[in-house]
């Protein structure tokens, strides 16, 4: 029994010695601390708005008839260049001409009567002076003096009456001359006739459309910019545009007007630009597309 116990003791001692002879594990060095990451703000995304618009001009108007009557002359047609006040057409003016001739004759009669009454007043004033002198010298009666005073006053009243008639007839002449001018259809400004609505022989009423007159330059384009757009238009700023029918045909324009108000319905405002040296084929009414470069920050 003692030998068996000693053997177990020796075995346990050998095992303990073997375990103690193994090398201790090495310590792992701690990793250096990394600096905290700094957040980078997102870059603004560049966008370009393509805004549909139409070429236009500042002055374009439909010329209306200012008088009733039959069209008896057409002095211009589509494509005709006209100066300001240039004749476009003429209405029948015979009735107005007749009335004007009569008014001028009445004016002439009134003017002659003024001259006659001026002479009559001068003569009656001279008779009054003689009657006053004779009455003062006792050579004339009071009745003669009263008669002379009455005649002088009457001549004065007649003269003023005829002077008023002259002014009346002058006013009638001016009114009929204006009516005569209204039978002429004239261009309100220099430009080109782009449309003719009437034909010779048509019976027109006052206010009827007759011609459309347009200035062909400067060519303008008006487009709408969203009020939320980060980039705001400035006077003189250049914009690019292309024809809607042919994107390869481009043009430049400079901003000439920015509306001070925002349209509540669309949330945008009007911007007007004038084309820079436009090509000859560009005409008012052409559909175009404005390329509006805009920058907007992405939403969080």
For 17, the 3-state DSSP assignment is helix
Q: What is the pLDDT of residue 44?
A: 45
CATH architecture of 46-59+216-296: Beta Barrel (2.40)
Max Cα-Cα span within the chain: 204
Q: State the number of CA atoms in the 13 A half-sphere of 111 facing the CB.
A: 8
User: Rounded to an integer, what distance in angstroms lies between the CA atom of residue 140 and that of residue 134?
Assistant: 5
**Would you state the pLDDT for residue 299?**
39
**Considering only CA atoms, which of 236, 239, 251, 237 is closest in space to residue 282?**
251
Q: In whole angstroms, give the CA distance from residue 82 to residue 188.
A: 10
Q: What is the pLDDT of residue 4?
A: 43
> What was the pLDDT predicted at 12?
46
- Is the bond preceding 218 in cis, omega lying within 30 degrees of 0? yes
Nearest-CA neighbor of 183 among 91, 96, 70?
Answer: 91
Q: CATH says 60-92+184-214 is which class?
A: mainly beta
Would you state the pLDDT for residue 32? Answer: 54
pLDDT of amino acid 295: 46
Residues ≥6 apart with Cβ < 8 Å to 207 = 64, 65
Alpha carbons 268 and 249: distance in angstroms, whole number: 27
Residue ranges in the chain whose pLDDT is less than 50: 1-5, 7-12, 14, 16-17, 19-21, 24-25, 28-29, 37, 40, 43-45, 295-300
Q: What is d(CA 17, CA 7) in angstroms, rounded to the nearest whole number?
A: 16
pTM exceeds 0.95 for this model = no
289 near 223, Cβ under 8 Å? no
């Amino acid at each position: 029994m003692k030998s068996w116990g000693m053997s177990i003791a020796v075995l346990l001692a050998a095992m303990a010695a073997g375990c103690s002879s193994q090398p201790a594990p090495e310590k792992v060095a701690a990793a250096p601390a990394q600096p905290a990451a700094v957040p980078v703000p997102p870059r603004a995304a560049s966008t370009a708005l393509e805004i549909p618009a139409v070429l236009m001009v500042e002055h374009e108007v439909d010329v209306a008839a200012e008088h009733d009557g039959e069209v008896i002359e057409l002095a211009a047609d589509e494509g005709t260049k006209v100066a300001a006040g240039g004749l476009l057409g003429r209405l029948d003016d015979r009735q107005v001409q007749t009335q004007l001739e009569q008014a001028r004759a009445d004016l002439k009669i009134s003017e002659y009567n003024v001259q006659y009454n001026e002479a009559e007043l001068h003569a009656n004033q001279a008779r009054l002076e003689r009657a006053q002198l004779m009455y003062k010298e006792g050579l004339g009666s009071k009745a003669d003096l009263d008669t002379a005073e009455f005649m002088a006053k009457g001549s004065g009243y007649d003269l003023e009456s005829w002077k008023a008639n002259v002014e009346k007839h002058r006013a009638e002449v001016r009114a009929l001359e204006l009516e005569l001018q209204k039978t002429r259809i004239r261009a309100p400004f220099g430009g080109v006739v782009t449309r003719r609505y009437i034909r010779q022989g048509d019976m027109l009423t006052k206010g009827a459309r007759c011609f459309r007159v347009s200035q062909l330059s400067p060519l303008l384009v008006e487009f709408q910019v969203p009020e939320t757009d980060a980039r705001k238009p400035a006077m003189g700023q250049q914009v690019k545009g292309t024809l809607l029918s042919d994107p390869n045909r481009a043009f430049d324009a400079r901003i000439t007007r920015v509306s001070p108000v925002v349209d509540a319905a669309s949330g945008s405002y009007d911007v007007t630009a004038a084309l820079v040296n436009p090509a000859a084929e560009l005409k008012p009414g052409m559909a175009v597309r404005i390329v509006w470069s805009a920058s907007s920050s992405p939403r969080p």
